Structure 1
């Protein structure tokens, strides 16, 4: 690393930051419990994860993954259908594994969180009330009992790396816990519904598509305040606010 001349800021906000120095990622997190979860989850997960180089709190050093991410929310994905299918198959492997031994969020806890976020969005006039109301109704379908699986719980497409149509690794395990496997599928395809068939070709057909659509609404509603308070714009084209508007329009047209 003595020849490295540049430090790249991958992501940064007041809770944590990720820097890249050559082939090393340095994750700096104010909450070491999150890092504890990430390290433990990567040790348990039966899928490719980054290699831990060292840990010196508050810094966790990870080796860079080969390949490229499936894409990013708000921009078209250039990954092949085969790469998306490989991601679905890898996700099935994760969900078939025994869940981690720490607790996950229950449907009742998620419902309470959703109520609070919808109230905040409406009070602050971030989105039209109709958009919030329709998406809140769509989201209710996801709030049913589920059989807990080993879930990543933040499986954004930017966290899944592939090369030669194979998954080379999955990043950012700090939210991993027992949870609803359909939430992972929904997060992976959020804003990219056109790739859901390819994902399911690898994952398997026993999936309720209405629940995935419900999680699209629910995850987007839960993310609006966090994005706003951490310096991100949820109104960026193709991102959470656009997804909520699209979901509301679809709901209006089908009622």
Structure 2
């Protein structure tokens, strides 16, 4: 995201500017895998990325170009998840220093199957979501230093080093999008009345979001379109670009945007410890994630605001009920 909006401390993505030429993408992939691509097709996605499906005689790949910190953090998250058995994408190559393209990128091997929200077989989709919940528990066993979106450090000699959360406390992670509310109001994305209701809800629920333990790895953008399956078998969890260190409940807050029934399936696989305030905590985190999404989208020059604003309104309505 652009530093003009977030002061460089909320999300590392920057608006991507001009589209990478297909020929340049093909040349970079040929350098990395040693075979000439048969086809290159740009994929839709967040305005802060450029994603391409690249077909070759040695399989299909996704090239994802973006900010160097985001590229390195996503690669690290995929590798850590795969190390504990989670079916995350295999990262074939990372170029954070723009040696083979004008933008940093990672290259991943395509996973079999497809998004469960594209299937007509409800039972197959349900089984995959339960399995995804089980794997999330394994992800949440991975300890990560710091809190918030992952970032990669760079030493004085220019080499890339440790990946960690960008913030010192989870309270800082919760506070950041609340601090961006004036910008969203000034841009007429939120009105002042709605911003005031957000502030009041988080002031009242501050104790619910107090997280005193060390951060663990979160996918932090889990959605049915990021869960892949084939014939009822979970084949992958993709798009780790928003990987975060923090409170596992935040994961469920984000996923709850998919609806109560879908969340129930993930929770069935995960089997979380629940107290009487679990549901309210999830709703607060749903609103928090939606506020982050608004700030990221605005800062990157996008315009996908309506769904996130409605999620904020719906969440506040649930909290008020």
CA–CA distance in structure 2, aligned partners of residues 37 and 251 of structure 1: 34
CA–CA distance in structure 1, aligned partners of residues 237 and 71 of structure 2: 15
Q: Which residue of 2 aligns with 1:160?
A: 227
CA–CA distance in structure 2, aligned partners of residues 6 and 20 of structure 1: 6
Q: Which residue of 1 aligns with 2:198?
A: 135
- 1:247 aligned onto 2:293: no
CA–CA distance in structure 2, aligned partners of residues 202 and 180 of structure 1: 18
Q: Which residue of 1 aligns with 2:295?
A: 225
Q: Which residue of 1 aligns with 2:135?
A: 90
Q: Which residue of 2 aligns with 1:8?
A: 42
Calculate the TM-score normalised by the size of structure 1: 0.82
Residue pairs, 1:49-64, within 5 angstroms? 49-57=88-96, 58-64=104-110
Aligned residue for 1:84, secondary structure, equals: helix
Q: Which residue of 2 aligns with 1:21?
A: 54
Q: State the shift of 1:226 in Å.
A: 2.1
Q: Relative to structure 1, is the Cα distance of residues 121 and 191 closer, same or farther in structure 2, using a 3 angstrom cutoff?
A: farther
Q: Which residue of 2 aligns with 1:204?
A: 271
Higher relative contact order (CA 8 A, sep 6+): 1
Based on CA coordinates, which of the two structures has the bigger radius of gyration? 2
Q: State the shift of 1:218 in Å.
A: 0.8
Contact 2:76 2:163 in 1 (8 A): no
Q: Which residue of 2 aligns with 1:35?
A: 71
Q: State the shift of 1:3 in Å.
A: 6.9
CA–CA distance in structure 2, aligned partners of residues 184 and 84 of structure 1: 14
Q: State the shift of 1:214 in Å.
A: 0.6
- 1:115 aligned onto 2:178: yes
Contact 1:17 1:28 in 2 (8 A): yes
Aligned residue for 2:140, secondary structure, equals: helix
Q: Relative to structure 1, is the Cα distance of residues 136 and 192 closer, same or farther in structure 2, using a 3 angstrom cutoff?
A: farther
Deviations 1:32-79 (A, max 9, x none): 22222222222221211112223344232111111222449xxxx967
How many residue pairs get aligned? The number is 245
Q: Which residue of 1 aligns with 2:151?
A: none
